[in-house]
Amino acid sequence: MKEYLEKLAKNETFSEAEMQLAVKSLLENEITDSEIAAFLFGLKLKGETIDEITGIVSALREKAPSFSAPAGTMDNCGTGGDGSQSFNVSTTSAFVIAGAGIPVAKHGNRSVSSKTGSSDVLEYLGVNLNLSHEAAEELLQSVGITFLFAPNIHRTMKRVMIVRKSLKIPTIFNLIGPLTNPVQLDYQMVGMYRRDLLPMFANVLKRLGRKRAVLLNGAGYMDEASLQGENHLVVLENGEIIKKVIQPEQFDLPTFSNDSIKGGSAKDNSEILQDVLQGNRSPYYYTVLLNAGIGIYTGGKASSIEAGIQLAKESIDSGAALHKLNELIENSCKYEKEVI
Q: Summarize the annotated binding site for anthranilate as residue ranges.
A: 78, 109, 164
Half-sphere exposure (Cβ direction) of 120: Cα atoms closer than 13 Å: 18
DSSP-assigned states of every residue in 227-253: SSS-EEEEEEETTEEEEEEE-GGGGTP
Instruction: Confirm if 122 and 306 have CB atoms less than 8 A apart.
Output: no
Residue 104's beta-bridge partner residues? 74, 145
- Alpha-carbon distance of 316 to 187, in angstroms, equals 21
Q: Pick out the residues of the known binding site.
A: 78, 81-82, 86, 88-91, 106-114, 118, 164, 223-224
Q: Pick out the residues of the known binding site for 5-phospho-alpha-D-ribose 1-diphosphate.
A: 78, 81-82, 86, 88-91, 106-114, 118
- Alpha-carbon distance of 194 to 179, in angstroms, equals 15
- Alpha-carbon distance of 56 to 36, in angstroms, equals 14
The full length of the chain comes to 340
| Residue type, position 309, single letter | I
- Alpha-carbon distance of 52 to 201, in angstroms, equals 11
Q: Is 200 exposed, middle or buried (0-12, 13-18, 19+ CB in 10 A)?
A: middle
3-state DSSP call for residue 102?
coil
- Alpha-carbon distance of 223 to 335, in angstroms, equals 33
3-state DSSP call for residue 74?
strand
Measuring CA to CA, which residue among 235, 213, 207 is closest to residue 19? 207
Sheet of strand 187-191, all strands in order from the earlier edge strand to the far edge? 145-149, 104-108, 74-75, 187-191, 212-217, 231-237, 240-246
End-to-end CA distance of the chain: give it in Å, rounded: 28
Q: Pick out the residues of the known binding site for Mg(2+).
A: 90, 223-224
